[in-house]
Amino acid sequence: MKARIIILIFPERGALNASFMLARQLAIEGFDITYLTNSFFVEHVRAQGFHCELFDLTPFYDGLRMRVRNGAGKTSRVFRMLAMLRIFLKRNDLLEEYLEKNLQVFFTKPVDLVLLDPILMNCCIPFIKRQIPVIHLNTTFAYRMNSVCYPVFSKRVSPGNKSLRAWFTIVTTWVLLWIRIVVKDLNWHRQHGLVPTRTVNTARRKIRRYGHRYVWGEYGYRLACPELILAPRQIDFRIVADEDRRCYAGASILKNRSDGDCSLSFSGLPLLYCSLGTYGHFCKAQVRLVLAVVDMMRRLPEWEAVIHMKEGLIGSDFKAPSNVRVLSHVPQLEVLKRASAAITHAGCSSLKECIITGTPMIVVPWNNDGFGNSARVLYHSLGVRLDIETVSPDVLRQALLHVTTDTGIQSAVRAMQQVFLDQEDCRHGVDFISNFFEKRILKQTG
């Protein structure tokens, strides 16, 4: 048995799905793989054949908020302020205690490497404290602040040059993003107490104490450490890929993954798939988009559609036409294999799954990295982008006709699909980790 690797990914279905192929290939190479995730996803990970243990930060932050509320209940204003100040100053010590208590069981056997989602920087503390190496496992195209590429939260296509104008606009965009996030985080703390945010309440002092550095990126502070991106290099902006020292692991899509029971039959008509992702129900414009898609499908009896949407978001009087199915659970890869086009929020996993199945995209980004991913769709001519706030049945119909008939888009999709198929086994990522261990052994033996 080779080294033992712990994988800790942000608890989101698409992010976990993106890691499975790399984890499977590492297991084939003999590495001992253990996932850590919360109760909502633990069975989904186990269904893929991986060893998975329960780990959740939610109880810690719930307990911290309870302490704040108890402190706020002090009769004296001075005592109230002192109690809340004490909690604020001790929050990172409390976090370390919680992490130690909940992760202690995993150190009964040696841990040789942690593959950590950059978003979960605070979770690295027990590992770096024991000098266990950490490699970022990035399920998005998020990066540290730089002067080459716009933040992944920006819908702008990064320029293909290093002109002074490009440098200025990119740096300005990053600075404005940082200011906006700081203001948002401070307001969030004011409303909700000591909860994890991107710029405030991070355990940076402890990370420095244990000999590590950190940098700032779109999702907040992240460790300065080696990094794997779970995508082929060719899907990123060319200038970023050329400048980047990170390892692009490959397609990292487990095409035979278990997505639960959801048997679907298809009529043989051209199929449109529509989904805004795991957290689409948080999108205020989701119902508007779905109603626009349904209205369009009423005028397209020669098509059928599968729409992924959480139950209860549309009124009980809603009736879909016979060529539309609205489902709360969809085996996305199976549907995309049959789809002629997809309306997607452009989450990184959905983007990759559309590409590997050769599905042209109508992207309607609504949050976070969806905007930057949609810029990559335009950059590589893999589809079109619409504004989710103003989309209408007529605009959707024109977009659907365009992505399914335009020869340029069709050709670009096929070319990128072949890139993904060629890198389906994540060989770059497996080699990166194997080489990491070889160099570490050589360094230790001196």
Give the DSSP per-residue string, 61-102.
HHHHHHHHHHHHT-SSHHHHHHHHHHHHHHHHHHHHHHHHHH
Instruction: Flag whether pLDDT at 190 surpasses 90.
Output: no
The CATH class for the domain spanning 271-422 reads alpha beta
pLDDT band of 231, cuts 50, 70, 90 = very high
Cα dihedral across residues 407, 412, 413, 419: positive or negative: positive
Q: Is the pTM of this model over 0.85?
A: yes
Tokens 């009087």 found at = 317
Mean of pLDDT over the chain? 89
The CATH class for the domain spanning 4-254+424-445 reads alpha beta
Hey, is 122 helix, strand or coil?
helix
Give the DSSP per-residue string, 141-167.
---BS-SSS--TT--SPPPSS--HHHH
Instruction: Flag whether pLDDT at 1 surpasses 60.
Output: no
Q: Side chain identity at 432, as an amino acid letter?
A: F
Q: Which one of 59-68, 300-309, 314-323 scores highest in mean pLDDT?
A: 300-309
Show Cβ contacts of residue 387 under 8 Å, excluding neighbours closer than 6 positions.
Answer: 364
Distance separating alpha carbons of residues 271 and 81, to the nearest angstrom: 60
Residues of the chain with CATH 3.40.50.2000: 4-254+424-445, 271-422
Q: Pairing relation of β-strands 220-223 and 214-217?
A: antiparallel
Distance separating alpha carbons of residues 67 and 88, to the nearest angstrom: 10
Identify the DSSP state of 220. E
Q: What is the pLDDT of residue 170?
A: 94
Distance separating alpha carbons of residues 385 and 206, to the nearest angstrom: 43
Distance separating alpha carbons of residues 227 and 442, to the nearest angstrom: 21
